[in-house]
Amino acid sequence: MLNTKNLLLILLLGLPVVASAGTPHTHHVAFKPAHVRHFDDGIERALLRQRQEIRAGIRRGELTRQEARKLLREHERIAQLKARYERDGRLSRDEREKLWHALNRVQRAIYNERHDAQRRRA
């Protein structure tokens, strides 16, 4: 028979195992339908990378305020378009192609604006 000391030890050692038994990484994808969640086409990563590049351009003074606002508007438009396309629970091939085309267009604009002669004044 287990005495209270051994029972307490078993409970304390078993608690972390039980607490960590939940499904991992569900907090950031739970809002998407399962069939959208499992297909990773890289669009979400591309959106994140573009936002980071725009912020880096702002931080380094490579983008004027006007350029940054324009690029962020375009970036947000693509994110909204993606959300609208995903409302039915999936992205069709045509929708993915349109999103990639728009992402590539904005990526070229980010590069061009960051490397032109215009700089933000301090």
Distance CA 73, CA 54 (A): 11
pLDDT grade for 28, boundaries at 50, 70 and 90: very low
Let me know if residue 85 belongs to a domain. Answer: yes
Mean pLDDT of 55-69: 93
Predicted TM-score of the model (pTM)? 0.63
The 10 Å Cβ neighbour count of residue 47 is: 18
Let me know if residue 95 belongs to a domain. Answer: yes
Number of domains making up the chain? 1
* pLDDT at position 38 over 60: no
Q: In this predicted structure, what is the pLDDT of residue 3?
A: 75
pLDDT grade for 118, boundaries at 50, 70 and 90: confident
Place of tokens 């693509």: 78
Domain extent at residue 94: 32-115
Let me know if residue 99 belongs to a domain. Answer: yes
Let me know if residue 94 belongs to a domain. Answer: yes
Q: What is the pLDDT of residues 86-99, one digit of tens each?
A: 999 889 999 999 99
Let me know if residue 26 belongs to a domain. Answer: no
Q: In this predicted structure, what is the pLDDT of residue 83?
A: 94
Q: In this predicted structure, what is the pLDDT of residue 116?
A: 85
Let me know if residue 82 belongs to a domain. Answer: yes
Q: In this predicted structure, what is the pLDDT of residue 22?
A: 52
Note whether 47 and 75 are within 8 A (CB).
Answer: yes
The candidate with the shortest Cα–Cα distance to 82, out of 74, 91, 73, is 91
Let me know if residue 80 belongs to a domain. Answer: yes
Let me know if residue 96 belongs to a domain. Answer: yes
Mean pLDDT of 68-87: 95
Q: In this predicted structure, what is the pLDDT of residue 7?
A: 61
